[in-house]
Amino acid sequence: MFYKDDNIDDDNAATTLESGFGRLPQNKLNWKFHGLTLWLELEEYQSDITNAISDLASHFRTESIPKSHTTAIYGMTHLTIDEAIKRLHRVKDVVNSWPTFDPPTGVVSDIAVDGQPGQVCSIAWCELTLSTNAAHEQAMDALTAVFFDGELRRNEPWKPHNSIAYDNPEGAKFSLRHLIKYVAEHPSLVTHERRVEAISLWDTNGRMEDWRCLDRVYF
């Protein structure tokens, strides 16, 4: 198992996971996103990923991610909501069943900086890192064609991951030591394959508290 923490100061974290449970968020997430986003919703084992999101948000005293997800396409601004919903319901015409994900290859805690390649906002996050394969790449190509009319071609392999915590990049409180401890205590997070149960369309304009699910299609 590979664990990585490039930017987080572990000294800012509390001494135990339990010490943060039940606290209100210390501060609101101040970064803003934009556009419409497609999320893949993965199979869970006794709500293990959802529980991780809730537990880590409570521990780090930050806002909880509204739904466990693996992002497929983000930041779409070329479609109206109505048109995007119509296209969502065409997805199963080209991808009847999304390929199953292998168990995660690692856990990452990192910071993205707005303006760097592939980054559209500055954010700190923790993730379960997933792997791609030929079947996933074919599914991503088909999905991209549905939402971009074949006018956008993907130039790089997909880098799928399932985020389990977000924070502001300044003074982020993520502790890789406690993240590893949490995963070790909840091994199903990294030991199981995951089917994709649904794909959902989200309005991700504004702060995370403003995000809303527009529609969902089950595989």
CB 123 within 8 A of CB 166: yes
Q: Which fold has domain 2-12+28-218?
A: Cyclic Phosphodiesterase; Chain: A, (3.90.1140)
For the chain, domain boundaries = 2-12+28-218
> Quick one: pLDDT at residue 219?
96
Please give the Cα distance from 155 to 151 (Å, whole number).
Answer: 13
Q: Each residue of 137-181: pLDDT tens digit?
A: 999 999 999 999 977 778 899 999 999 999 988 877 776 777 888
CB 144 within 8 A of CB 134: no
String of DSSP letters for 66-85: SS--EEEEEEE-SS-HHHHH
pTM, two decimals, is: 0.85
Q: Among candidates 127, 178, 162, which has minimal Cα distance to 9?
A: 178
> Quick one: pLDDT at residue 26?
58
In this predicted structure, which of 9-13, 75-79, 208-212 has the lowest mean pLDDT? 9-13
Evaluate if residue 126 carries a pLDDT over 80.
yes
Q: Each residue of 17-70: pLDDT tens digit?
A: 444 444 444 568 888 899 999 999 999 999 999 999 999 998 888 899 999 999
Q: Each residue of 2-27: pLDDT tens digit?
A: 334 444 444 444 333 444 444 444 56
Query: Residue 216's pLDDT band (boundaries 50, 70, 90)?
Result: very high
